[in-house]
């Protein structure tokens, strides 16, 4: 979006400050900028423009340096109004060839590969969230007899996603009884969204026979668990945690601790990915203080949803605010689009 408060000169200076800081991780000075970029005005003029940008909150002035660095507001203006995304600037052939190798493979393998690819080519921490199953349509339920008191429930969604859960039953059961319950559940629940099953399960199965009671009673008691999304710790594939540690801004022990916390607590990443808001081209860019968790004030996220039939997941990267936004936005956008195509055609 265009900010009328910034003149063309101010926009150019801000652009170059952000780009130079991304490259060097060092505060940007006026003399360095005039030497590196063809601005057609003097270092003194650049210093005056920098002072105006600082007063407006787009850059700030570290105490230990004469140069300036972008603020969260400066980065936000840059990604909204100044950066130029070039999809042809990334090696799409290398990405697509790796993904094509798993077109016939399992969904879990494909999502793991996507996470590793994103981490490798962006040099950031990458994450792929499994699709949210609430809106998924039940294709079938399979009940597998594990022992006289244990059953494996396999829930298949029409998009190809499979969820499994083991349930314990406090009375002995036999395989024939399990098969009869399986037929009943498929007859009455197939074709419904999981969210609808949780709400209407009792009404749809209330006329079951006493003979089926031992198994069905477990479904009644655990319907929210059986027909829900996977546990948070099962919903994310994270790769490249070491990439964050190598970034110069996290050499400070206090900031390094924020990296360790992020790596160790997968639920933090899941939460911020699920809260990310789609923007232009359906790619979400969340910068520093915009994150819903204050501990992520030193990080930026670039995320996008992918689709698996009737359900959606999210993928993206987490890195320092000083990331190559043009490149990373193009990569995340392309990978999410490719993943959707592959999963749609499976």
Non-local (6+) Cβ contacts of 126 within 8 A are: 115, 116, 117, 118, 119, 238, 239, 240, 315, 316, 317, 318
So what's the pLDDT on residue 221?
Answer: 85
The segment with the largest mean pLDDT, out of 66-70, 264-268, 280-284, is 66-70
The tens digit of pLDDT for each residue in 229-239 reads 655 556 788 89
So what's the pLDDT on residue 292?
Answer: 82
The tens digit of pLDDT for each residue in 164-195 reads 888 888 877 788 888 888 999 999 999 999 98
Give start and end residues of each alpha helix (H) in 65-106.
Answer: 72-77, 92-100
Mean pLDDT of 272-288: 77
What is the reported pTM?
Answer: 0.81
CA 309: distance to chain centroid?
18
**Nearest Cα to Cα of residue 176 among 141, 210, 218, 148:** 148
How many other C-beta atoms are found inside a 10 Å radius of the C-beta of residue 230? 16
So what's the pLDDT on residue 114?
Answer: 92
Distance CA 116, CA 126 (A): 7
The tens digit of pLDDT for each residue in 103-114 reads 666 777 888 899
- 174 vs 253, higher pLDDT: 174
Domains of the chain in sequence order: 8-82 (1.10.10.10), 89-132+232-344 (3.30.450.40), 138-226 (3.30.390.60)
């Amino acid at each position: 979006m265009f900010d009328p408060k910034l003149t063309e000169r101010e926009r150019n200076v801000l652009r170059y400050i952000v780009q130079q800081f991304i490259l060097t991780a060092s505060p940007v000075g006026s003399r360095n900028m005039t030497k590196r970029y063809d601005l057609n005005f003097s270092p003194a003029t650049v210093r005056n423009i920098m002072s105006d940008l600082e007063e407006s909150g787009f850059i700030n002035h570290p105490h230990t340096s004469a140069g300036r660095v972008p603020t969260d507001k400066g980065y936000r203006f840059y990604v909204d109004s100044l950066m130029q995304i070039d999809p042809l600037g990334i090696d799409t052939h290398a990405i697509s060839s790796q993904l094509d190798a798993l077109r016939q493979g399992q969904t879990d393998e494909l999502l793991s590969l996507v996470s590793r690819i994103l981490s490798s080519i962006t040099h950031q921490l990458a994450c792929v969230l499994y699709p949210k199953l609430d809106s998924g349509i039940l294709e079938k339920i399979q009940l597998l007899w594990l022992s006289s008191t244990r059953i494996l429930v396999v829930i298949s969604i029409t998009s190809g996603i499979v969820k499994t859960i083991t349930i314990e039953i406090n009375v002995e059961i036999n395989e024939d009884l399990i098969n009869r319950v399986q037929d009943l559940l498929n007859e009455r629940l197939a074709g419904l969204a999981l969210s609808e099953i949780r709400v209407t399960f009792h009404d749809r199965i209330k006329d079951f026979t006493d003979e089926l009671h031992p198994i069905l009673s477990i479904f009644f008691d655990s319907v929210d668990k059986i027909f829900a999304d996977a546990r948070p710790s099962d919903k994310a594939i994270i790769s490249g945690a070491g990439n964050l540690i190598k970034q110069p801004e996290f050499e400070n022990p206090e900031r390094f601790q924020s990296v360790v916390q992020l790596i160790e607590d997968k639920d933090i990443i899941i939460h911020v990915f699920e809260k990310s808001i789609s923007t232009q081209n359906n790619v979400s860019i969340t910068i520093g203080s915009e994150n819903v968790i204050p501990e992520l004030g030193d990080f930026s996220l670039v995320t996008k949803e992918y689709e698996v039939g009737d359900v959606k997941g999210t993928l993206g990267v987490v890195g320092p605010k000083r990331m190559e936004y043009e490149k990373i936005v193009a990569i995340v956008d392309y990978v999410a689009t490719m993943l959707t195509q592959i999963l749609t055609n499976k």
